Amino acid sequence: MINDLKEKIIDSRLKHKLLDNLSDYQFNLDDAYNIQDEINNTLSINGLGKIIGYKIGCTNKAIQRELNINEPIYGALFKNKLIKNNSNISLKNFIKVGVECELYVNVAKNIINKDHLSKEKIENLFDYCGLSLEIVEDRFVEIKKNKVEHVIIHGSLGNSIILDKKIINQFSNYSKFIGRLFLNNQEIYSSFSDSILGNPLNALKWYFQKKLELNKTIKKGEIIRLGSITPLLWIKKPCSIKAKIDELGECSINFTE
């Protein structure tokens, strides 16, 4: 049964197929992350490229309530899913696509046990930060009818990412950035970054702790996306999108037919 589930999810990721009626295999969140790792390995060697980092999702209470979960989730970022800033990309490349304005950080050192977290401030565990525009994809017929474990196994809705320039870690307060999302040059969302668990660095700390609980190493140079500052915007038709944080920069993408 579990092999059938993995095959369906791999097929969905590689061939842009909707998922429905997934096997009701009994597993917990830790199982889901381990299965995600197995699937990620297959995706890496079948076109998505090596894993260069991870996304953190479900960083606000509203989304957690929708998925019946009380903590964030994470998924992998693949090298071949990096998109250049201001690219044109067809909506036909996606099933159900949305965009988010995010912060990302670059891990400064290998983190192999909880001592690293207890002995150092979280600010010392990353050396750069920046703005990112995440392209998410809902590959489920009806996501709310699926377990959150299915969402995790399927990569936590990850698809692609645009990364703005790296900026040295020099800010005293990461909770007061204002993230802005523009549709066809009109600002439609703006939020303080404390919308991410009160402070984006709380999401980073959660991620570090979760990976270590799963006996996984966090590697120097990994790119970690800290969750969306703004609400998720679903894209229904061709348009231009821009994400902006005044102190960090901006990213844009043009969705075409």
Whether the per-residue pLDDT at 121 is higher than 90: the answer is no
Sign of CA dihedral 124, 104, 40, 8: positive
The tokens of 235 are what?
């894209």
What pLDDT is recorded for position 146?
A: 84
What pLDDT is recorded for position 3?
A: 85
State the DSSP H helix or E strand holding residue 78, giving kind and residue range, or none if neither: strand 73-78
Residue range 218-240, pLDDT digits in tens = 999 999 999 999 999 999 999 99
State the DSSP H helix or E strand holding residue 4, giving kind and residue range, or none if neither: helix 2-15
Cα distance between residue 249 and residue 224, in whole Å: 18
Q: How far is CA 111 from CA 5, 28, 29, 122, in A?
A: 32, 25, 22, 11
State the DSSP H helix or E strand holding residue 33, giving kind and residue range, or none if neither: helix 29-43
> Residue 28: is it exposed, middle or buried by C-beta count within 10 angstroms (0-12/13-18/19+)?
exposed
Whether the per-residue pLDDT at 242 is higher than 80: the answer is yes
What pLDDT is recorded for position 212?
A: 94
| Of 100, 95, 36, 42, the residue nearest 230 (C-alpha) | 100
Report, as an integer, the average pLDDT of 196-211. 95
Cα distance between residue 159 and residue 13, in whole Å: 9
| Of 87, 252, 89, the residue nearest 164 (C-alpha) | 252
Residue range 36-92, pLDDT digits in tens = 999 999 999 999 999 999 999 999 777 777 777 889 999 999 999 999 999 999 999
Boundaries of every domain in the chain: 2-85+94-174+194-228
Residue range 147-156, pLDDT digits in tens = 889 999 999 9
Phi/psi of residue 191, each to 5°? -150, 150
Q: Which residue has the higher pLDDT, 2 or 116?
A: 2
Q: What pTM was computed for the model? A: 0.94
Task: Give yes or no for a contact between 235 and 90, defined as CB atoms under 8 angstroms apart.
Answer: no
* Spatial strand order in the sheet of 186-192: 87-90, 249-256, 239-245, 178-183, 186-192
Architecture of the CATH domain 2-85+94-174+194-228:
Alpha-Beta Complex (3.90)
Q: How confident is the model at residue 22 (pLDDT cuts 50, 70, 90)?
A: confident
What pLDDT is recorded for position 68?
A: 76
Report, as an integer, the average pLDDT of 118-137. 92
